[in-house]
């Protein structure tokens, strides 16, 4: 079995485009701004790009919760068209959830924190009654809870 490019700890290293620095593809959780999230070379070695990557993961996580809670399509008009449109919205939600999951597979602790925070804020704003959300979880009305200012 060819083990070229692999270290004894199970991680592999790859060159980062002529910068002379070697980036690790981590197989355990780590904290740091160096590494790859979703795309090779992104965020790279710049703090600003790392912060942008965290913002993108946060927004994507919150959007997953919004798409799970909203009824964008009314079924009164065209039943077949409405079902097709709802299927497309569902596919977008699942695809976005998979993108967030792939970002989590970077094993960067910052990404994990913002993904969980994005889902939590999305749930609070769009699905809980605390901020005027629907109070529904997976289409079922939530039990208890009081409306409150947000």
Render pLDDT for 87-138 as a digit per residue (tens, 0 to 9): 899 999 999 999 999 999 989 999 999 999 999 999 999 888 666 655 555 5
Considering the domain boundaries, does residue 41 fall inside one? yes
Considering the domain boundaries, does residue 145 fall inside one? no
Render pLDDT for 28-45 as a digit per residue (tens, 0 to 9): 788 877 778 887 878 878
Pair 138, 79: CB distance under 8 Å: no
The pLDDT score that the predictor gives to residue 134 is 54
Into how many domains does the chain fold?
1
Domain that holds residue 127: 12-138
Considering the domain boundaries, does residue 147 fall inside one? no
Strand ranges, E, within 35-127: 36-37, 39-43
Considering the domain boundaries, does residue 2 fall inside one? no
Pair 50, 35: CB distance under 8 Å: no
The DSSP call for residue 143 is P
Considering the domain boundaries, does residue 106 fall inside one? yes
Considering the domain boundaries, does residue 54 fall inside one? yes
Considering the domain boundaries, does residue 47 fall inside one? yes
Pair 96, 64: CB distance under 8 Å: yes
Considering the domain boundaries, does residue 144 fall inside one? no
- What is this structure's pTM? 0.68
């Amino acid at each position: 079995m060819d083990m070229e490019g692999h270290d004894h700890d199970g991680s592999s290293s790859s060159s980062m485009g002529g910068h002379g620095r070697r980036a690790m593809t981590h197989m355990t959780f780590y904290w740091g701004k160096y590494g790859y999230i979703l795309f090779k070379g992104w965020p790279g070695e710049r703090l600003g790009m790392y912060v942008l990557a965290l913002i993108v993961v946060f927004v994507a996580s919150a959007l997953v919760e919004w798409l799970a809670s909203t009824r964008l399509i009314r079924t009164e008009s065209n039943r077949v068209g409405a079902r097709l449109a709802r299927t497309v919205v569902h596919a977008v939600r699942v695809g976005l959830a998979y993108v967030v999951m792939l970002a989590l597979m970077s094993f960067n602790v910052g990404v994990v924190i913002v993904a969980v925070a994005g889902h939590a804020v999305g749930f609070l704003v769009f699905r809980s009654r605390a901020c005027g959300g629907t109070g529904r979880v997976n289409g079922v009305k939530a039990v208890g809870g009081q409306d409150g200012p947000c």
